[in-house]
Amino acid sequence: MPYGGWGCARKYWVEDMKVEPTEEELVAPGHRACAGCGCILAMRHALKALGKDVIISMATGCMEVVTTPYPETSWRVPWIHVAFENTAAVASGIEAALKVLGKRHVKSVAIAGDGGTADIGLQALSGAIERGHNFLYICYDNEAYMNTGIQRSGATPYKAWTTTTPIGKVKRGEDRPKKDMPAIVAAHGAPYVATASVAYPLDFIKKVKKAAAIEGPTYIHVQAPCTPGWRIEDSKTIEVARLAVLTGSWVLYEIDQGKLNVTFKPPKRRPIGEYLKLQGRFRHLTDEDISEIQRAVDEQCKRFGLE
């Protein structure tokens, strides 16, 4: 029985909004994503929430590469790729042009990976939010530079293996904690910031719809597992993503006009070991390591008011 079962997906999206994912597929199949890729699923869900009246600017990364091998494209909406670090700047230009053309029903949406957001893309994102452009920024977080072969990024979690934080005799894995991007964006005063997970698609879709409806800079950070990068089985993508939420390692929340609101509280928080043991990138952890990580997760949950 898959942990949590299907009940979790439906039980916890409720509230007042009726969110039924549309049938329309704005991301066509035939893309070159890996089997079981969590990120392309995030794209698919996001587009279901956004609909066709968007212009997407995307950063160099896994999603850009797998969806647009010339002369084919998976996108059924207008889409532009420019470079790695300037997605938010391109989205700003698009938003200005849309304003000039009077196309109020079209939304400028920027999509980038964790590398193109937390690291090299941080400047452009910061500038775009500070200027208050009306755009939505979605960061799909697979916790490393996956497109170039699993190198660490600022979003790589503590003690994870990547090719640039390998397990050796002296150093064992990533020695820095994960950069808290939603907090950084919230500190800019963005009107809406939210975290999401591919395992909770209805929550994600609702947040995207909400964020897109707000006029101003909004940000959604969706965690999406990578099967080769996290060293997990192809079929376990959703299970791992769900465990991240159920162990409190990834908290689903939104900061709506500065007010924090946790959108999903796991009923009985599972020990972090259950999440870590499914992933090859954490295979090297000793019991001590796991306890250390557990302590960090406990502290995080305390901050969010989760037991």
Partner 1 sequence: MKQVLDGNEAAATAAKLARVKVVSAYPITPQTTIVEKLAEFIADGELDAEYIKVESEHSALSACIGAAATGVRTFTATSSQGLMLMSEMLFVASGLRLPIVMANVNRSLSAPLSIWCFTKDAKVLMGDLTYKSISEVKEGDAVLGKDRNSNLRFTKVKRLFRRRTDNLVELKTDKFNLICTPDHRFYYHPTHEHWIQARSLKSKFLPWFGFGFNDGSDEFKRGWLAGVADGDGSFWWDKQGRHTFRINVKDEIIVDTFVKYCFNFGFDVRKVNYRKNEGLSTGIITLTKETTRLKKFLNFSRNADFCGGYLAGIYDAEGSGPSKVKQVVIYNSNPEILKKISDALALLGIKYKVYIDKRSMNYHTKVNNVPEFFIKCRPVLERKRNNLLKMTIKSVKSRLKIEDVVPIRENTEVYNLETDTNNYIVNGFLVHNCDQQDSMAVRDSGWVQLYCENNQEILDSTLQAFRVAEELLLPVMVCLDGYILSHTAEPIEIPDQAAVDKFLPVYKFPYPLDPEKPVTMGPLGVPEYYEEFRYMLQEAARTSKEKLVEVEKEFKKRFGRSYGLIERYRSDDAKVILLTMGSLSSSAKEVVDAHRKRGEKVGLVKVRSFRPFPNKELIEALGQAKAVAVLERDISLGSAGGLFLDVAASFINVKPAPLMLNFICGLAGRDVSPIQIKEAVQAARKAAETGKVKRAVRWLGLREEVLG
Partner 2 sequence: MSLKPGAIITEPGSSARYETGSWRAFKPVIDANKCTACGICWLYCPEPAIIKGKPHAVDYRYCKGCGICANECPFKAITMVAEEHK
Using the rule CB under 8 A, give the single segment among 77-85, 164-172, 201-209, 224-232 that binds partner 1. Answer: 77-85
Pick from 15, 130, 175, 274 the residue near partner 1 by CB under 8 A.
Answer: 130
Our finding on whether 23 is near partner 2 (CB under 8 A) is: yes
The distance of closest approach from Cβ of residue 64 to partner 1 in the complex, given in angstroms and rounded to an integer, is 7
Answer for the pair 235, 162: CB distance below 8 angstroms, yes or no.
Answer: no
Contacts of 50 (CB under 8 A, 6+ apart): 26, 77, 107, 109, 136, 208, 209, 212
Query: At residue 249, what is the residue type?
Result: S
Residue 109 partner contact from partner 1, partner 2, none using kind-dependent CB cut-offs of 5 to 8 Å: none
Closest C-alpha to 181, from 121, 245, 265, 91 = 121
CA atoms within 13 A on the CB side of 144: 27
Our finding on whether 168 is near partner 2 (CB under 8 A) is: no
The distance of closest approach from Cβ of residue 71 to partner 1 in the complex, given in angstroms and rounded to an integer, is 7
Pick from 49, 59, 63, 74 the residue near partner 2 by CB under 8 A.
Answer: 74
The pair of three-digit structure tokens given for residue 137, joined into one six-digit string:
């920024």
Our finding on whether 75 is near partner 2 (CB under 8 A) is: yes
The distance of closest approach from Cβ of residue 6 to partner 1 in the complex, given in angstroms and rounded to an integer, is 33
The distance of closest approach from Cβ of residue 91 to partner 1 in the complex, given in angstroms and rounded to an integer, is 6
Looking at the Cβ atoms of 21 and 267, the one nearer to partner 2 is: 21
Do the bridges between strand 107-113 and strand 253-256 make them parallel or antiparallel, or are there none, so unpaired? unpaired
Our finding on whether 238 is near partner 2 (CB under 8 A) is: yes
Burial of 225 (0-12, 13-18, 19+ CB in 10 A): buried
The distance of closest approach from Cβ of residue 198 to partner 2 in the complex, given in angstroms and rounded to an integer, is 8
How far apart are alpha carbons 257 and 190 in whole angstroms?
A: 7
By CB under 8 A, the count of residues binding partner 1 is 45
The distance of closest approach from Cβ of residue 164 to partner 1 in the complex, given in angstroms and rounded to an integer, is 23
How far apart are alpha carbons 197 and 241 in whole angstroms?
A: 7
Give the Cβ contact number of residue 138 at 10 Å: 29
The distance of closest approach from Cβ of residue 2 to partner 2 in the complex, given in angstroms and rounded to an integer, is 6
Looking at the Cβ atoms of 21 and 305, the one nearer to partner 2 is: 21
By CB under 8 A, the count of residues binding partner 2 is 43
Looking at the Cβ atoms of 41 and 194, the one nearer to partner 2 is: 41
* DSSP type of residue 99: H
Answer for the pair 203, 13: CB distance below 8 angstroms, yes or no.
Answer: yes
φ, ψ at 299 (rounded to 5°): -65, -40
Q: Rounded to the nearest 10 degrees, what angle do helices 38-50 and 237-246 cross at?
A: 80
Which spans of this chain sit near partner 2 (rule: CB under 8 A)?
A: 1-2, 5-7, 9, 21, 23, 25, 28-38, 40-41, 44, 67-77, 201, 227, 233-239
Which spans of this chain sit near partner 1 (rule: CB under 8 A)?
A: 52-55, 57, 64-65, 68-71, 73, 75-83, 85-86, 88-101, 106, 108, 123-124, 126-127, 130-131
